[in-house]
Amino acid sequence: MSQTNASNETIPAYLVPTPAGARYVLNGHELDPRRLVLSALLRGGSSRPMPLAMLADISGLPDRKALGTVLFQLQRDNWLTGDVEPLTVAREPLGEAVPPLLQGLSVSGQGVLADDNGLCYAYSGYTRDEADRLAAFSTGLFPLWRLYQELPAVAAKQEPSSWALVTGPGETQLTICPLFVGDQILHLTVTGTAGFDCPAFVKLAALLLRRYVGSC
């Protein structure tokens, strides 16, 4: 998509954030133009045809020209793609809608989503007791994650990051990633190397943003 195309009245395709774009949205609270546009798309802009003026408005950008510049940057960085199909999300409660997505993020189908108080919201591939323990564990690591992010070498990269821990005699790996969803902080834990670069993560981001921030 060029900036010239972006100036047209109607978006010629469904604009869907890539997994990398979805990770950027959930990697922090700072509302820069790229995060505003990607968030608006995940919250509903990717699910229906939308005039550029409307997308600019719900993204909080001043006009279509500013939006066109941001769209060009997002596509250049592979954070946005044009798709012939809309982005759809489940309408079931989180406890039912999230587990199938967690399965898609782990090669073993095991994952846990917790809130910032250590309460398990959804899980897959674990018993309830195991999921509750992992929820508390991932939340307890968050202050250490904050300290790690403040290291100059890490902060300079400005990239989404996660913990990769190897635990126990069987060398089981856990990947733990904080998710910033509006004013909420959720904690995602999956067994093995996390498959964040997949459609399931985009759907998870869209589902969480629509439930906690609101659809648009």
**Structural domain spans, the chain:** 3-83, 94-195
| Architecture in CATH of 94-195 | 2-Layer Sandwich (3.30)
Give the other-Cβ count within 10 Å of 138's Cβ.
25
Has residue 95 got a pLDDT over 80? yes
Cα–Cα distance between 45 and 48 in angstroms, integer?
6
Q: What is the mean pLDDT of residues 58-87?
A: 92
How much is the average pLDDT of 23-46? Answer: 92
Per-residue model confidence as pLDDT tens digits over 137-153: 999 988 887 777 676 66
- The token duo for 101 is 């997505």
The answer for residues whose C-beta is within 8 angstroms of residue 28's C-beta and 6 or more apart is 35, 180
| Mean pLDDT, all residues of the chain | 85
Q: How confident is the model at residue 29 (pLDDT cuts 50, 70, 90)?
A: confident
pLDDT, position 31: 85
Each residue's pLDDT tens digit, 197-209:
899 999 999 999 9
DSSP-assigned letters across all residues of 109-138:
S-EEEE-TTS-EEEEESS-HHHHHHHHHHH
* Residues paired with residue 156 on neighbouring β-strands, in sequence order: none
